[in-house]
Chains A and B, each alone.
Chain A
């Protein structure tokens, strides 16, 4: 005779329901945090636009063409032309200086150095990235700027026919070039670290195949490591660009601010959007602050675009390397 087994069903379903509720709540919390991050990006855009509208109304289209910055004068006269020029120019010079060094350093760490040295390289990159920008700025003003002058003077005397190297009044110092060198030092860690990750993704078999064909170490790097890493390194450089465009305090300390569009980067002067916000904020009036927010919006849009493209490029390469595409 079959015993009527007590059905455990109610208990089980009760438990499942409770478990499911716990899971739902927890999952909801994690999802909420993820959405909060998307929300912050949207909120940044919304609030900057909202608070910048009065400044845009006053300046109109001149905001993009005007070079000077007198938002609190009557009539107010201000625009981002000189600032945007200085921002882009200093960042590009910084990249020209830093890219060969960063790629060389990353190649040394992945291709040539024993792996223990690679770990120490990781520490060093961490430390370089952790030094606050205000310290770089202070060091830039009191250590770097005076030490760059002889080199600039030499270039001015011997290659002054190139406008980039010419200083028309024979003064050097707190120039766009000096700011670019500081920027280069500051973006070095990020470019080197990401390039290193990209080189690491290259399958060991590529290198072994090249070496087996009798290639030298350099030929191996050139034919087996660099080509598949190309777009990843481009992404790394663009991330460095994003960092350089937005750097504020170091540039604000190093530059002797002036509002002009000038390719003579050895001459003191020049300014960037971010540095201008830092130096002008304290003394700005109501419209002055709104104008600074408007310039910040321009910076936000530029860096967001650069970062999104850079990330998309890096994503694509790493996903190809992981075999997901």
Chain B
């Protein structure tokens, strides 16, 4: 008869959530004791010390109970997850601080007054002229870049074969990394200096169009690729020519996604400051004609006010920053809501 031996443990004991919670509580308690006796202070310091304590305690306990591999696993995963939370800190900090300072500074007059004739120490004036400028400049950028971007995306997805399509796609990607100041410099060298057209809202619109173009192409390209080939083939089978198929079958079925991409591109360029500096140049009074003379823009307004030494100007900068963030976030949220209606994604 076979002698039965005691069963060998196949699994080492593992720590439960409650046990880890106790380790965490212990780390916080120890930190509190440390802060009570040692000359440490500050909430941030406390969190940092408690975090390091927890890391050490968790690794130690896990090493003793679960073994070295598990201890390493717990340490690495804790660090990895902490990275995500660390990444969220600046987002929360930027948004909350801007909202706080912006709400203190903003007033209804901010949206109805320009900076024309406002003295450096006066608590007056607003961004009306800059908002007009931004709306016009972004509109011009959209009118230029949306059709061109859409057509280029159609080329890449529907027609493009071989080396040329590859290079177009490659350089669209490279262009997404073009520094915005370089786009501004280009329009300045080409339009303002080269063609002697001077600073204008239209020049700013062109600079923004250069920045918007690759974003529109990339987003549209992704969406057009999602349209199933069955739809195209069904259309061809009915004798519909290719261009009609693209215009009346492919584009409509991708329309929700295309709109999302375009709105995100608009949101991205609305906040661009550097190109405006070199092309629209900035102007304190209301100028509705974007084709002649310097114009302001909301991001540019924030930049110039922020560069001032006076508290009233800094307040205007915060009010402008809040307005800008509100516009950009609103556009982003609208774009995201549209994604939900996207049947392809």
Interface status of B112 (Cβ within 8 A of chain A): no
Output the nearest chain A residue to B272 by Cβ-Cβ distance.
A132
Chain B residues with CB under 8 Å of A222's CB are 76
Interface status of A81 (Cβ within 8 A of chain B): no
Interface status of B208 (Cβ within 8 A of chain A): no
* Also in contact, A30 and B168, with CB within 8 A (given A128-B91, A133-B273): no
Q: Are B82 and A104 in contact (CB under 8 A)?
A: yes
Q: Are A37 and B177 in contact (CB under 8 A)?
A: no
* Also in contact, A47 and B190, with CB within 8 A (given A23-B241, A41-B175, A138-B317): yes
Chain B residues with CB under 8 Å of A242's CB are 177
Q: Are A33 and B151 in contact (CB under 8 A)?
A: yes
Q: Are A135 and B324 in contact (CB under 8 A)?
A: yes
A216-233 vs B: 1/0 string, CB under 8 Å? 111101100000000000
> What distance in Å separates the Cβ of B89 from its nearest Cβ neighbour in chain A?
9
Q: Are B83 and A134 in contact (CB under 8 A)?
A: no
Interface size class of A (residues with CB under 8 A): 35 or more
Output the nearest chain B residue to A246 by Cβ-Cβ distance.
B179
Interface status of B310 (Cβ within 8 A of chain A): no
Number of A-B contacts (CB under 8 A): 279
Q: Are B181 and A274 in contact (CB under 8 A)?
A: yes
Chain A residues with CB under 8 Å of B264's CB are 126, 130
* Also in contact, A112 and B268, with CB within 8 A (given A278-B274, A303-B179): no
Q: Are B90 and A134 in contact (CB under 8 A)?
A: no
Interface status of A105 (Cβ within 8 A of chain B): yes
Interface status of B197 (Cβ within 8 A of chain A): no
B86-125 vs A: 1/0 string, CB under 8 Å? 1110110111011001000000000000000000000000
Q: Are B174 and A248 in contact (CB under 8 A)?
A: no
* Also in contact, A311 and B174, with CB within 8 A (given A30-B159, A217-B73): yes
Chain B residues with CB under 8 Å of A136's CB are 94
Interface status of A101 (Cβ within 8 A of chain B): yes
> What distance in Å separates the Cβ of B191 from its nearest Cβ neighbour in chain A?
9
* Also in contact, A40 and B302, with CB within 8 A (given A34-B168, A105-B84, A126-B264): no
Residue from A105, A135, A185, A307 in contact with B177 in the complex, judged by beta carbons closer than 8 Å? A307
Interface residue total, chain B, C-beta cutoff 8 A: 96
In the complex, A300 Cα to B186 Cα: how many Å? Answer: 10
Interface status of A161 (Cβ within 8 A of chain B): no
Q: Are A127 and B185 in contact (CB under 8 A)?
A: no
Residue from B80, B164, B332 in contact with A104 in the complex, judged by beta carbons closer than 8 Å? B80
Interface status of A109 (Cβ within 8 A of chain B): yes
Q: For the complex, would chain A's binding face be called helix, strand, loop or mixed by DSSP majority?
A: helix
Interface status of B193 (Cβ within 8 A of chain A): yes
Interface status of A31 (Cβ within 8 A of chain B): yes
A31-47 vs B: 1/0 string, CB under 8 Å? 11111111011011001
Interface status of A56 (Cβ within 8 A of chain B): no
In the complex, A34 Cα to B151 Cα: how many Å? Answer: 8
Residue from B101, B194, B213, B325 in contact with A51 in the complex, judged by beta carbons closer than 8 Å? B194
In residues 114-157 of chain A, which contact B (Cβ within 8 Å)? 121, 123-124, 126-139, 141-143, 150
> What distance in Å separates the Cβ of B184 from its nearest Cβ neighbour in chain A?
8
Q: Are A130 and B328 in contact (CB under 8 A)?
A: yes
Residue from B69, B182, B183, B306 in contact with A137 in the complex, judged by beta carbons closer than 8 Å? B306
Output the nearest chain B residue to A42 by Cβ-Cβ distance.
B171
Chain B residues with CB under 8 Å of A143's CB are 93-94, 97
Q: Are A44 and B186 in contact (CB under 8 A)?
A: yes
* Also in contact, A132 and B328, with CB within 8 A (given A23-B241, A34-B168, A139-B94): yes
Chain B residues with CB under 8 Å of A219's CB are 69, 73
In the complex, A312 Cα to B158 Cα: how many Å? Answer: 23
Residue from B90, B152, B189, B278 in contact with A48 in the complex, judged by beta carbons closer than 8 Å? B189
Interface status of A68 (Cβ within 8 A of chain B): no
> What distance in Å separates the Cβ of B332 from its nearest Cβ neighbour in chain A?
5
Which has the most chain A C-beta neighbours within 10 Å: B80, B183, B213, B329? B80
Q: Are A38 and B80 in contact (CB under 8 A)?
A: no
> What distance in Å separates the Cβ of B96 from its nearest Cβ neighbour in chain A?
10
24 contacts between A and B (CB under 8 A): A22-B243, A27-B159, A32-B151, A37-B217, A38-B167, A47-B186, A48-B186, A102-B87, A104-B83, A105-B86, A107-B80, A126-B332, A130-B271, A130-B331, A132-B299, A132-B328, A133-B271, A134-B303, A134-B321, A136-B94, A138-B321, A248-B274, A274-B181, A300-B182
Q: Please give the residue numbers on chain B whose beta carbons come within 8 Å of chain A beta carbons, in ascending order.
A: 42, 69-70, 72-73, 76-77, 79-84, 86-88, 90-91, 93-95, 97-98, 101, 147-149, 151-152, 154-156, 158-160, 164-165, 167-168, 170-175, 177-183, 185-186, 188-190, 193-194, 210, 213-214, 217, 241-244, 246-247, 264, 267-268, 270-274, 277-278, 281, 299, 302-303, 306-307, 314, 317-318, 321, 324-325, 328-329, 331-332, 336
**Other contacts beyond A126-B332, A127-B91, A304-B174: 6, CB < 8 A:** A23-B241, A37-B213, A50-B189, A127-B329, A248-B181, A303-B182
* Complex A-B, nearest 6 residue pairs according to Cβ-Cβ distance, in ascending order: A104-B83, A246-B179, A132-B271, A26-B243, A30-B155, A33-B151
